[in-house]
């Protein structure tokens, strides 16, 4: 064979290879075992073993570890998609479960030079990065119980001073915008504008194990028109493309909490094929859901409905009437507003709950959607479905939170000039032999 056809063959072969594994930034997620300490914010958390320091470059193809923990039933989103006052968004559903089912995932980043470390929720339901500030109000209790950013300790700090505010259902967050270097995984020196929280009024923030939030949704949701961190990484050439994926480990006893991959996805995380579903409104990661089924006896979302994939929400939420019917069908016993108890011994007999997305059925077994927790030798089983009524124009909609995303790997692809945003879903390889 002549050299020219051989070179042409190799060139064509390279064009057909899936670039999913090229230039990936791997952020293994680790879980901190909080045990009975979860509701005591004055207690320190354990240190994961063998965690490289933030700011250390990724050694070749070896991953850089970011500790991840899962804590409480919390919802960071959705926020209002209707026009709102400048520098202010609202969130109707930031909630803390009194039973603390420990299903919230979070990890560590660095801000400043040298990096000051913070634990943050990687939230696909919001678009801002914020952490508590050392300049916070004296009476802001959550601020004093968490790591705080000190601008005087950073040689790369740039003041901004623009005020921002986020109104949550159970409290308010307010502060000022600032600029400094972001360190995440092996990526360093990304100049980002972030929020320094000066006032956090919520009990949720006081009890939370995380310090702040790193939003991974679309720019339209960003408070103050701030460029979201993902966009900044791409703009500054630190990330090849605006694609990322979550693999969440659903084993509460495992030290490995999963992995956040920036720049693409890892086929080793899921069972092929990936089903891609187009994003219908590029604000949240919102898609169309054809319908839902509970076993063979109950159909929900019968005419189709909107759903968002949200790593900042622990449970699966939906309209009150349909959630009540769903919990009744799985034997849920209402304890408090929005909390349903499941009799643990019935789990093997409970029906699957199925979601029609992109023409494919995605099934959750009771082992997937029942949250099991052991406290003082007592086993507690709670429903992973909770009511949340979103008013028009944002709602009604369903939120597929971590209860769904622990079972299915999600690939979040912002798209490009020739193709729109989409979400890819496939069964996680967790537990497969």
Catalytic residues: 123, 310
Asked if 316 and 386 touch (Cβ cutoff 8 Å), the reply is yes
Q: How far is CA 100 from the centre of its chain?
A: 18
Long-range CB contacts for residues 319-327, cutoff 8 Å, separation at least 24:
319/387, 319/388, 319/389, 319/395, 319/396, 319/398, 320/387, 320/388, 320/389, 323/385, 323/386, 323/387, 323/388, 324/387, 325/298, 325/300, 326/292, 326/294, 326/298, 326/300, 326/353, 326/385, 327/383, 327/385
Buried b (16+ CB within 10 A) or exposed e, 48-73: beeebebbeebeeeebbbbbbbbbbb
**Under DSSP, is residue 9 helix (H, G, I), strand (E, B) or coil?**
helix
* 339 membership: H or E segment, kind and range: strand 339-341
β-strand 305-309 against 397-400: which pairing, if any? parallel
Closest C-alpha to 414, from 323, 278, 222: 278
CA–CA dist 31, 29 (Å, integer): 7
- In sequence order, the 6+-apart residues with CB closer than 8 A to the CB of 314 are 72, 73, 74, 75, 101, 103, 104, 401, 402, 403
Q: Compute the distance between CA of residue 226 and CA of residue 217 in angstroms, rounded to an integer.
A: 12
Task: Specify the DSSP element, H or E, that contains 320.
Answer: helix 320-329
Assess whether the previous peptide bond of 357 is cis (omega < 30° from 0): no
Provide the 8-state DSSP code for 288. E
CA-to-CA separations, 141 to 39, 75, 182, 330, in angstroms, rounded: 15, 21, 26, 40
Q: How far is Cα 20 from Cα 133, in angstroms, rounded to an integer?
A: 38
Separation of alpha carbons 294 and 297, rounded Å: 6
Rounded CA separation 390/392 (Å): 7
Written as six digits, the tokens of 362 are: 């995605």
Q: Cα–Cα distance between 426 and 403 in angstroms, integer?
A: 15
The order of strands in the sheet holding 333-336 is: 333-336, 339-341, 378-383, 370-375
């Amino acid at each position: 064979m002549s050299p020219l056809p051989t070179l042409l063959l190799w060139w064509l072969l390279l064009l057909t290879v899936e670039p999913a594994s090229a230039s990936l930034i791997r952020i293994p997620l680790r879980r901190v075992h909080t045990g009975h300490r979860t509701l005591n914010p004055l207690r320190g958390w354990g240190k994961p073993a063998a965690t490289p320091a933030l700011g250390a470059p990724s050694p070749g193809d070896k991953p850089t570890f970011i500790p991840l923990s899962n804590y409480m039933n919390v919802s960071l989103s959705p926020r209002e998609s209707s026009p709102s006052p400048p520098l202010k968004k609202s969130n109707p559903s930031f909630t803390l479960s009194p039973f603390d089912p420990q299903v919230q995932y979070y990890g560590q980043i660095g801000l400043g030079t040298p990096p000051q470390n913070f634990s943050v929720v990687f939230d696909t339901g919001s678009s801002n990065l914020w952490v508590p500030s050392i300049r916070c109000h004296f009476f802001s209790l959550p601020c004093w119980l968490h790591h705080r950013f000190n601008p005087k300790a950073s040689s790369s700090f740039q003041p901004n001073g623009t005020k921002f505010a986020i109104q949550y259902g159970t409290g308010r967050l307010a502060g000022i915008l600032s600029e400094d270097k972001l360190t995440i995984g092996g990526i360093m020196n990304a100049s980002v504008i972030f929020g320094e929280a000066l006032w956090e009024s919520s009990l949720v923030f006081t009890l939370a194990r995380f310090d702040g939030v790193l939003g991974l949704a679309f720019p339209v949701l960003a408070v103050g028109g701030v460029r979201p961190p993902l966009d900044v990484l791409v703009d500054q050439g630190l990330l090849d493309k605006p694609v990322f994926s979550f693999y969440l480990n659903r084993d509460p006893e495992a030290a490995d909490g999963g992995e956040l991959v920036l720049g693409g996805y890892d086929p080793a995380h899921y069972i092929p094929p990936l089903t891609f579903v187009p994003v219908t409104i590029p604000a949240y990661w919102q898609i169309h859901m054809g319908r839902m089924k509970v076993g063979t006896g109950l159909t929900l979302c019968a005419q189709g409905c909107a759903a968002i994939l949200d790593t900042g929400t622990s449970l699966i939420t939906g309209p009150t009437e349909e959630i009540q019917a769903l919990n009744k069908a799985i034997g849920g016993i209402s304890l408090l507003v929005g909390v349903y108890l499941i009799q643990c011994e019935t789990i093997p007999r409970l029906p699957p709950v199925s979601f029609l997305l992109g023409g494919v059925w995605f099934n959750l077994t009771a082992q997937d959607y029942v949250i099991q927790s052991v406290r003082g030798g007592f086993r507690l089983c709670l429903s992973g479905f909770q009511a949340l009524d979103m008013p028009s124009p944002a709602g009604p909609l369903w939120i597929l939170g971590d209860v769904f995303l622990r079972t299915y790997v999600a690939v979040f692809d912002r798209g490009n000039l020739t193709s729109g945003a989409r979400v890819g879903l496939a069964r996680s390889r967790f537990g497969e032999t």
